[in-house]
């Protein structure tokens, strides 16, 4: 089975306008974002002072990252926020590993208290050890915005998943199965994971007390890892990934890649449909980001390998790998930073507002992401365009700010700011 217990320990070894315009209330929709080839990204490396190596596992919408790092021979979980690191140390515990964080900075993970491997939840500065009654070990991997935690462990006889909600544990194993692991949970409390039905490995969905097997057609094995708030599910199997959306399975693998795999965690999916994962290509382990049929590679320059572990709703990805000196480090990267302007008329993404404007038809809506564009747009064509600013990575939410650093000159036509926040400096 992929990701058996102890796989985590294996991973440790390796116009000139000034001001703000805000107009809201425009209906938005999800649009395909064509992208040719791999995108070059700027990576922020994560390695706290004194750490000999680090792994980044999860990120929330505020950009706070959790993971684990090694000092001498001790592994400690960490929280990284706004350039600062804080260790996650539980009194009396010999090691900790942080694997999940929600948008309220509540963290789920696991470690060892000197007697057994236990899960934990960190909330408002307080650590709570988690162990379902009668179990001998437990590990936590996911947490939703309601503070519900999922993971897996053993009662000494059977490996099972669990949910911890409001102080109550629920054991998770589909009827008739001999083992199960729970890995992902959405804000509705729907859980995905995988296990063995006595013959083969199968993914499952647990929703409202009902289990549903997840197995793409003609596949013999599957492993479900994450579910978003729309009920879309991603997982692995047959050396590929899968996306389960609206009752239909789609296969996921970047063009030319050999296979996909789980190293500690599998695929993750955002509410706007961005997917990240890891696999093998060109003789190296690499990460990738996928949305609406298009793939981009995640691989810091000159690194030996890289795994993508999580992505937030703003398209910020975190993961870990090894640099050219084979030092293990985490990384953070904006997976939609380079291409930032969408022309709805031709449904093409651009890196500059000028390029989108030049090719726009009369009446076109142009959407810009929550980003700073350094350019001097010249609007000199006899046409009207509509500008929406501050969009997220999928252009579906516009609660951020688009900053245009430069001069904007309007000679002809008309520009209408019809949504979001646009700042011109």
Q: What is the pLDDT of residues 165-202, one digit of tens each?
A: 999 999 999 999 999 999 999 999 999 999 999 999 99
By mean pLDDT, which of 49-58, 148-157, 291-300 is the weakest?
291-300
Distance of alpha carbon 182 from the chain centroid: 17
Beta 107-112 vs 95-101: how paired, if at all? Answer: antiparallel
Distance of alpha carbon 193 from the chain centroid: 17
Question: What share of the chain in percent tops pLDDT 90?
Answer: 72
Question: What share of the chain in percent tops pLDDT 70?
Answer: 89
| DSSP-derived secondary structure for 195-249 | EE-SSSEEEEEEETTEEEEE--TT-S--EEEEE-TT--EEEEETTEEEEEETTEE
Higher per-residue pLDDT: 15 or 91: 91
* pLDDT confidence of residue 264: 75
Residue-range domain boundaries for the chain:
41-334, 341-424
Q: What are 169's strand-pairing partners?
A: 164
State which H helix or E strand residue 279 sits in. Answer: strand 275-281
By mean pLDDT, which of 3-17, 33-47, 219-233, 323-337 is the weakest?
3-17
Residue 25 dihedral angles phi and psi, to the nearest 5° = 100, 15
Beta 414-424 vs 384-391: how paired, if at all? Answer: parallel
* pLDDT confidence of residue 170: 98
* pLDDT confidence of residue 375: 92
* pLDDT confidence of residue 332: 95
* pLDDT confidence of residue 220: 97
The per-residue pLDDT for range 102-132, each reduced to its tens digit, is 999 999 999 999 999 999 999 999 999 999 9
d(C-alpha 331, C-alpha 174), whole Å: 36
Q: 23 pLDDT exceeds 80?
A: no
Q: 87 pLDDT exceeds 90?
A: yes
Q: 224 pLDDT exceeds 80?
A: yes
Q: What is the C-alpha R_g of the chain?
A: 23
Higher per-residue pLDDT: 7 or 192: 192
Q: 4 pLDDT exceeds 70?
A: no
By mean pLDDT, which of 94-103, 171-180, 289-298, 407-416 is the weakest?
289-298
- Rounded to the nearest 10 degrees, how much is the dihedral formed by the CA atoms of 187, 190, 194, 198? 160
Between the ranges 7-21, 235-249, 410-424, where is the mean pLDDT highest? 235-249
Mean pLDDT computed over 67-74: 94
By mean pLDDT, which of 23-32, 100-109, 146-155 is the weakest?
23-32
* 18 CB-near residues (< 8 Å, 6+ apart): 424, 425
The per-residue pLDDT for range 317-345, each reduced to its tens digit, is 999 999 999 999 999 998 765 556 777 77
Residues 212 and 203 sit within 8 Å (Cβ to Cβ) = no
Mean pLDDT computed over 45-56: 96
What top-level class would CATH report for the domain 41-334? mainly beta
Closest among 410, 420, 421, 408 to 17, alpha carbons compared: 408
* pLDDT confidence of residue 39: 52
């Amino acid at each position: 089975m992929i990701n058996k217990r102890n796989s985590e320990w294996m991973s440790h070894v390796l116009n000139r306008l000034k001001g703000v315009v805000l107009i809201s209330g425009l209906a938005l929709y999800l649009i395909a974002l064509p992208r040719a080839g791999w995108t070059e990204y700027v990576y922020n490396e994560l390695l706290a002072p004194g750490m000999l190596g680090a792994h980044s596992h999860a990120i929330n919408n505020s950009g706070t990252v959790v993971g684990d790092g090694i000092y001498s021979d001790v592994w400690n979980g960490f929280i990284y926020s706004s350039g600062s690191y804080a260790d996650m140390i539980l009194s009396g515990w010999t090691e900790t590993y942080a694997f999940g964080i929600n948008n309220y900075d509540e963290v789920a993970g696991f470690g060892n208290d000197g007697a057994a491997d236990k899960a934990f939840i960190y909330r408002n500065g307080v650590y709570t050890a988690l162990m379902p009654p009668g179990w001998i070990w437990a590990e936590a991997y996911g947490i939703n915005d309601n503070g519900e935690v999922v993971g897996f462990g053993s009662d000494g006889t059977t490996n099972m998943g669990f949910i911890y909600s409001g102080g109550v544990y629920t054991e998770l194993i589909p009827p008739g199965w001999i083992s199960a692991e729970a890995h992902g949970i959405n804000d509705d409390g729907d859980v995905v994971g995988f296990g063995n039905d006595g013959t083969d490995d199968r993914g499952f969905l647990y929703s409202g007390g009902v289990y549903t097997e997840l197995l793409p057609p003609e596949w013999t094995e599957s492993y479900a890892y994450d579910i978003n708030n729309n009920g879309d599910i991603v997982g692995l199997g047959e050396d590929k990934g899968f996306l389960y959306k609206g009752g239909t399975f789609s296969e996921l693998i970047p063009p030319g890649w050999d296979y996909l795999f789980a190293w500690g965690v599998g695929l993750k999916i955002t509410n706007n449909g961005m997917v990240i994962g890891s696999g093998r290509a060109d003789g190296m382990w690499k990460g990738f980001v996928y949305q609406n049929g298009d793939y981009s590679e995640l691989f810091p320059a000159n690194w030996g390998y890289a795994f993508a572990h999580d992505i937030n709703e703003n398209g910020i990805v975190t993961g870990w790998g090894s640099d050219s000196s084979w030092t293990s480090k985490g990384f953070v990267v904006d997976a939609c930073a380079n291409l930032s302007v969408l022309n709805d008329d031709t449904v093409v993404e651009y890196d500059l507002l000028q390029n989108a404007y030049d090719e726009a038809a009369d009446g076109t809506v142009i959407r810009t992401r929550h980003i700073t564009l350094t350019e001097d747009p010249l609007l000199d064509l006899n046409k009207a365009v509509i500008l929406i600013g501050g969009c997220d990575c999928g252009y579906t939410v516009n609660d951020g700010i688009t900053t245009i650093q430069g001069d904007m000159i309007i000679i002809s036509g008309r520009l209408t700011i019809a949504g979001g926040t646009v700042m011109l400096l």
